[in-house]
Structure 1
Amino acid sequence: MKNIKTLDQFKDKHFGKVGTVKRDELDLDYENFKIGAMIHEARLQKGMTQEELAEKAGTTKSYISKIENNVKEARFSTLQKIVELGLGGQLELSIKI
C-alpha cells in the first residue's frame, strides 16, 4: 500500500506540478479528450452517425470525427452548434477559480 499514489501525485512526478508547461498541456489535452468523448457518447445515444450530426450542426463529418478522436480542438461557437443544433441539447459553461 506504500507505493500507491493518487492521480495528482502521479501527474506531479511524471509531468510536473500544475502551472508547468508539460503538466498544463496534459491537463488541456485531457479536457479536449473529455469533450470529444461526451459528444461521441451523446451522438450514439441519439442513434446518429457522424455524418447526420455534422449535417444538423452545419459542419463536416471529418470535423466531428476529429473532435471525437481528440485530433482537433472545437471552437466554442462550433461546439455550441454541435450540442444545440446537432444533438438538441444545451451547452453549459462554468468557471472555477
Structure 2
Amino acid sequence: MKTKNRMTLDDFKDKHYGEKGTSKRDELEEGYENFKLGTLIHEARLEKGMTQAELAEKVGTTKSYISKIENNVKEVRLSTLQKIVQLGLGGHLDLSIRL
C-alpha cells in the first residue's frame, strides 16, 4: 500500500508564496500575525463575557474599531493594544522578539 506524501505548512508556503525573506512570503506572514492578534483579542473578550461595545467603552474607542481589529480589517497600534489588554480586559501584555 502506498503512503501519500504529506506537505508541511512551511513546504506549502514555500511553494505558493516563496521562501522566507521574499516580499510575497513576508506579506503573508505579516497578515497572519495581524489575524492572530485579532483572534486573540476576540477570544479574550469572549472569555471575559464582554461585548465589543463594552470593551470599546472601557478602552475609550468605538465598537466599530474593536470589530475591525478582531476581523483583521484594521491594524492596531501598540499603545491601543496595551489599552485593550490592560484597561479593557484587565490583563497584561507580554511581547517578545525572536531573532
Instruction: Tell me the TM-score normalized by structure 2.
Output: 0.95
- 1:17-96 to structure 2, matched below 5 A, reads 17-96=19-98
Q: Distance in 2 between matches of 1:91 and 1:62?
A: 22
Deviations along 1:47-95, whole A, 9 cap, x unmatched?
Answer: 1000000000111111100000000110000000000000000000000
- What does residue 18 of structure 2 align with? 16
Q: Distance in 2 between matches of 1:72 and 1:19?
A: 24
Q: Distance in 2 between matches of 1:95 and 1:41?
A: 23
Q: Distance in 1 between matches of 2:70 and 2:57?
A: 16
- The count of residues paired between Structure 1 and Structure 2 equals 97
Runs of 4+ in 1 over 3 A off after TM superposition: none
Instruction: Tell me the TM-score normalized by structure 1.
Output: 0.97
Quick check: which has more Rg, 1 or 2?
A: 2
Aligned-residue RMSD, C-alpha:
0.8
Question: Matched residues, percent identical?
Answer: 75
Give the match's secondary structure for 1:94.
coil
